Amino acid sequence: MRLLLDLGNSRMKWAAHAPGAPDFIARGAVPYGAGSIVDRWPLAQPPEAVWLCSVAGPARTEAVAQTVSRSWGAPVHPIASQPAGFGVRTAYAEPQRLGADRWAALVGARSLGSGPVCILGLGTALTGDLLDAQGRHLGGIIAPGRQLLRRSLRAGTAQVVTDAPAPEVEDGEEGVGRTTDDCVAWGVTHSLIGCCARIAEVARARLGADVALLLTGGDASWAQPLLPFASRIEPDLVLRGLAVIADD
């Protein structure tokens, strides 16, 4: 059994996986600062090896790798983007600059089927990636996510964003606010959902009307009912890609 780790910007997702198995034995998420995966490990046996995908920065990545290696004595295998592999070929002229999480998500999406897909990653950042039926990555987008959009208003204005919790907006509401907090919530929502809708239009134009729209990331469930198109949530695309890479 091995441990798969997806180190994002705000939390660490993990899965226990047996080689070649179609499903995970167990999975979960740990916010940074809330203890280590070693402390929260729910299984009786420790993993024999660890496969790690990280966009969390070198210091945090090294700290996690040292913790699992020291506690369990398991070898740690960090992954990096490749020009091609596992049925996927990247569009980047410098493949090493494609985020490891986006590479793993492309591999994970490819493992789910051979049709064209548009992956929308709704986390700290909003990412979108297009993958055609032959496994060719056509490129993507990167934009601020929901919380980053709100923080940018806080950083760039003196009186707009307050310390109050951000109000939630729901599909079917009128789309404008009558308080500053509501106006910010709607502005952020329209910005993010509008960006998603536009990249979906690009995906349909490039890949055809049958392109599958896959949502992943912490804000996927929030965004799905607000989006003007049919989509499917795949919360573990990065971990699925890690499992494929580890099986090689």
Q: Is the dihedral of CA 18, 22, 24, 29 positive or negative?
A: positive
CA 146/CA 123 separation, integer angstroms: 8
Active-site residue, selected from the candidate residues 6, 39, 101, 210: 101
Q: What is the DSSP letter of 98?
A: S
Cβ atoms within 10 Å, residue 211: 21
Q: What is the DSSP letter of 231?
A: -
Helix (H, G, I), strand (E, B) or coil at 12: strand
Tokens coding 243 = 């499992």
- Which of these, 61, 69, 59, lies nearest to 3 by C-alpha position? 69
How far does Cα 175 stand from its chain's mean position? Answer: 27
* 101 catalytic residue (yes or no): yes
How would you label 132-141 residue by residue, b for 16+ Cβ within 10 Å and e otherwise?
Answer: beebebbebb
Q: Is the dihedral of CA 157, 163, 169, 175 positive or negative?
A: negative
Which residues neighbour 115 within 8 Å (Cβ) at sequence distance 6 or greater?
A: 133, 210, 211, 212
- N residues, the chain: 248
CA 196/CA 201 separation, integer angstroms: 9
Catalytic annotation, residues: 101
